[in-house]
Amino acid sequence: MEKTPGRGRPGRRRTLDEQDILDAAMRLLTTRGADAVSVRGIAAEVGVAPNAVYTYFPDKAAVLRGLVEQILGEVDHGDFADPDLPWRERIHALVADIRTRLLARHGAIELLLSGPMDGPNALALGETLLAILADAGLGDDDAARAQYLLIVHVLGSVALEAAELDRHAPAPPEAQRIAARRTALRAVPAGLYPRTAAAGEVMAGFVSTEQFAWGLDRVLDGLPLRRDAG
């Protein structure tokens, strides 16, 4: 008599690794926001039980730190390493690249602000900034302080921009975000807030690339460069 195959027999389990888990977390972050990046959500995304995630990461915090490292690791430091390029141009290009990447996944800023940025990719980013600032003519102490100030400018600017966005949807184009702010600011009562109403057009552009670059230039203008620096 022919043997009938058993029913409900589990198939071969899919092989997982750390990168699979981080890729799943990145998909959740990009499509549904930082709140969706949970161990249960990641497990569902890759089709395993939640405890399988703990085989590779001890807890959710470790997953988030790995995700931050992956985002920072996307920055190509070689693009900013040429000492023959003007130092201000290199800093503008580097921080603009970081801002663009964070706004593309605006939930990422919550992750960066939720824990220390002390992984290898974060340290490499800091090292690149220190090298550019040294080329600009800053001493070691001033370069370290300036590096921190630049990171604060980037993360603070992006955090304020992201606070106005839908956490569960991609960021709209910049022009659309400015238009929405302009509409809101036009509704400000000029009798109560005359200066705000008068500055409405400028304030509408606070989420713009132009405003970001303006603030960055004011930071760079204040650096204590040597007289013979470029």
Domains, the chain, with CATH or none: 13-71 (1.10.10.60), 73-221 (1.10.357.10)
* Residue 8 pLDDT exceeds 80: no
203-221 per-position pLDDT tens digit: 999 999 999 999 999 999 9
pLDDT in the model for residue 83: 87
More confident residue, 226 or 113: 113
Residues 6+ apart with CB under 8 A from 89: none
The model carries a pTM of: 0.84
110-144 per-position pLDDT tens digit: 888 888 888 999 999 999 999 999 999 999 999 99
- CA quadruple 16, 113, 104, 223: dihedral, nearest 10: -130
Residues 6+ apart with CB under 8 A from 175: none
